[in-house]
Structure 1
């Protein structure tokens, strides 16, 4: 992809930066970034921030952001959101909060990308209820519908806890904002019932109403919750 001369094939820089980062090759990321850093393009900067983030080189990621911030004077929402995701990946809550403040002060409109990064930042920091509160407020604003992935990330957290009430609440809220029920939501929801060791009454019928049908893996999970149903009935009959 690099060809004989990466400087002549500069279009490849934004593609190879994340590849080298995935391979853990920090020296190669640095080499490619040196080709770009004197006159960086937006796509190269976003790729470099992601790459340094994968390599846990936070200062280097911040340096790329600062360089582009000075060049553009008003960086895009996408650029802020990418650095915010780096902070989320490494549970750097304080830095994430500071970045959002900088973002607001710059006059940048905070929309779905930022909300998504914020939600995941708080989830990764273990503050699930705070992430839930942020998502609820985002849904009430007129700056764009929160992303599907934001809701699913929270659903997965509640499912891990076996918190059926909040998993069901998130399922309902997704419908309220206009997301049709997909297999992905049902996968997370059934996991909440399994982890709670609770029977999921009428689950197949709910899926069928949404024109969805369990695959082999889901069928095995449904058998699990049916076993809980038998146990619950057995307790009543004993």
Structure 2
């Protein structure tokens, strides 16, 4: 399967997810809201819709101004996965540049009880989990980005290392220092005769195939 860009959020809440979203359904009278697609005890698959109405003024060749009514829709597909009592992981597929309206509506649905934050990752732990997986028969770390890399007595740098085998090991070989901070890692692996791809940043940017999601989840909870 092809890798997909994702954004993960961690939600703490006191209400049942499906019930909260159902009360804020998107409709003609409600310009922003949710649509439930599939509901199970531990997972909710849904979409968020927002209707944006814009009026633009255009100068016509006849010297007057014409107002044009434009309607646009923002659609965000997401899955809410229960990981504990009052704790859920939200996976947004192909996220837009901004999720401000989505986040605002989501907190409104939960009556502003709880909290929502972007997931972040310990990349060394992510690599360790994948590297130790018996089902993987070929693992390649194609690229790593690191900051606070010592390059002198009082100097550090942000560097990018590319490799056809293991860029992380190459980085650690040349710069074995506890100050080095991993910012991004790119991994390809063959698992169960399928090619799996993972590109993830410590700040939470994700681009991966489904087989790699399991390892990211394990580092969060």
TM-score (norm 2): 0.23
* Structure with the larger helix share: 1
* Structure with the larger strand share: 2
Higher relative CO (CA 8 A, sep ≥ 6), structure 1 or 2?
A: 2
